[in-house]
């Protein structure tokens, strides 16, 4: 069946450093890849998404890259801040969302 | 406005109780979803409504009964739940086409005693 592998499962960085989360998907027909951030006690919030007609998208400190040939996509957060601490999910979009297992990001100040 | 609201925020119920979770959106979305999320896990899809009709039921036990009374509202009726049903229940909405962004509500934290 469809699945998304996400790494690492936990990531600790110092404030101001960069964080990178990587995902691999299985459905080569998929063309939509959103990323969600979930803070403690809250629902997932869309932070950025990318469609297969582009290889990279950036929004301030957040960027996402997509390699359709390798079926990889990654989230890059630069100049991390304590408020970036949360669980991040990569998702393969489609009729049903297929979530990665999640990455717990801790930003130490 | 990309807001999905859910009530109540927290719910404690016994195994013989009947309760309902409510979800509302005013974004004009015609697809609405219920997800269940256990601690330290990603959300799991339960039901999908498209144009107010149930289009996907992920083999959810009948003690969970969804209802979509109109294009803005989604309910989840709960009856005779088990302690293992304790979880965060999330509602989401989107335009009904494949590949459209889903917007999630804050969730209802359910505890079954």
Partners of B36 in the β-ladder? B44, B89
CA dist A38 and B43 (Å) reads 11
Could B107 and A43 be called an inter-chain contact, meaning their C-beta atoms sit closer than 8 Å? yes
CA dist A75 and A105 (Å) reads 12
Q: What is the pLDDT of residues A7-53, one digit of tens each?
A: 999 999 999 999 999 999 998 889 999 999 999 989 999 999 999 88
Q: What is the pLDDT of residues B12-54, one digit of tens each?
A: 999 999 999 999 999 999 999 999 999 999 999 999 999 999 9
Phi, psi of A3 (to 5 degrees): -150, 160
Q: What number of C-beta contacts closer than 8 Å exist between A and B? A: 44
Query: Are B80 and B61 a contacting pair, CB within 8 Å?
Result: no
- Which of these, A80, A70, A67, A68, lies nearest to A20 by C-alpha position? A80
Tokens of B85: 């049903």
CA dist A67 and A80 (Å) reads 24
SS3 state at A60: coil
In chain B, positions 2-61, which contact chain A (CB-CB < 8 Å)?
4, 6, 40-43, 45, 48, 56
Query: Are B80 and B25 a contacting pair, CB within 8 Å?
Result: no
């Amino acid at each position: 069946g469809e699945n998304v592998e996400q790494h690492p499962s936990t990531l600790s960085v110092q404030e101001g450093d960069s964080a990178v989360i990587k995902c691999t998907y299985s459905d080569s027909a998929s063309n939509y890849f959103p990323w969600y951030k979930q803070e403690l006690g809250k629902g997932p919030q869309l932070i950025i998404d990318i469609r297969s007609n582009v290889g990279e998208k950036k929004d301030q400190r957040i960027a996402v890259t997509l390699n359709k040939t390798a079926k990889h996509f990654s989230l890059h957060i630069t100049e991390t801040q304590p408020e970036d601490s949360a669980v991040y999910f990569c998702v393969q979009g489609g009729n049903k969302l297929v979530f990665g297992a999640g990455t717990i990001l801790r930003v130490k100040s | 406005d990309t807001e999905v609201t859910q009530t109540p925020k927290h719910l404690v119920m016994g195994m013989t109780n009947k309760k309902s979770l409510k979800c509302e959106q005013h974004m004009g979305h015609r697809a609405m979803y219920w997800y269940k999320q256990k601690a330290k896990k990603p959300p799991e899809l339960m039901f999908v409504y498209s144009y107010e009709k149930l289009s996907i039921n992920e083999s959810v036990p009948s003690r969970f009964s969804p209802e979509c009374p109109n294009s803005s509202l989604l309910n989840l009726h709960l009856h005779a739940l088990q302690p293992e049903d304790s979880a965060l229940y999330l509602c989401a909405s989107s335009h009904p086409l494949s590949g459209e962004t889903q917007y999630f509500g804050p969730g209802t934290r359910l505890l079954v005693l």
